[in-house]
Amino acid sequence: MTIVATSAKLHWNYFVALERDMEQLSRYVEFCEENFSVYSVELAHLLFAAASEVDVVCKLICEQVSPGARRENINDYKAVLLQALPELPYTEVSVPRYGLSYRPWLNWAGDRNPDWWRSYNNVKHERDAHFNQATLKNALNALGALLVLTVHYYSRKFAPEPGQVLRPKDTTRELMPESTLLRLHEDSYFSHLIV
């Protein structure tokens, strides 16, 4: 039997794996505002994994939009990404199954880094003092931030020519399997006609 290999969508596959872990968690913790402050080892794991991947994808997008620009930390990413993606702070992520919506990058509309990013660093560097910041709210925000960035990354990677950017719905059509928990605005997806 011959196996044909195509280019793997590594960052999308990683996002989907983390999203599936978050879905599994939803069987034990109801995703609602009353539980946003719940924290656990599993939530710490999800926060670490999602925020670490945000770091990786930020660097990749910075290289796409401004090769050679400084990209050593979140402040460097902010300078480059907001120049290329001024709408980033206002991009909404939803969890339709639970009636939730949020803007994981909203702090970048001001002069602060995202709350979930600060919590990630606090838990990573001083776990004994800040473990209670490994919350459902922070993990959901980190995963939502990763969804937004991963779609932006592939919108450039899939474009037919360097410097071009695919429409969000053309990008999400290529990202399989589909996200099943988190969603961008419905304009980012083609509708499925059911007859």
Closest CA relative to residue 104, chosen from 72, 152, 59: 152
- CA 73/CA 150 separation, integer angstroms: 18
Predicted pLDDT of residue 191: 84
Mark out the alpha helices in 26-114 (DSSP H runs): 41-65, 74-84
127-155 b/e with 16+ CB inside 10 Å = b?
Answer: eeebeebbbbbbbbbbbbbbbbbbbbbbb
- CA 137/CA 122 separation, integer angstroms: 15
Residues of the chain with pLDDT under 50: 5
Matching residue, tokens 């480059």: 80
- CA 12/CA 173 separation, integer angstroms: 12
Predicted pLDDT of residue 162: 87
Predicted pLDDT of residue 5: 46
Q: How many helices (H) and strands (E) does the chain have?
A: 7, 2
- Amino acid letter at 119? S
Predicted pLDDT of residue 2: 63
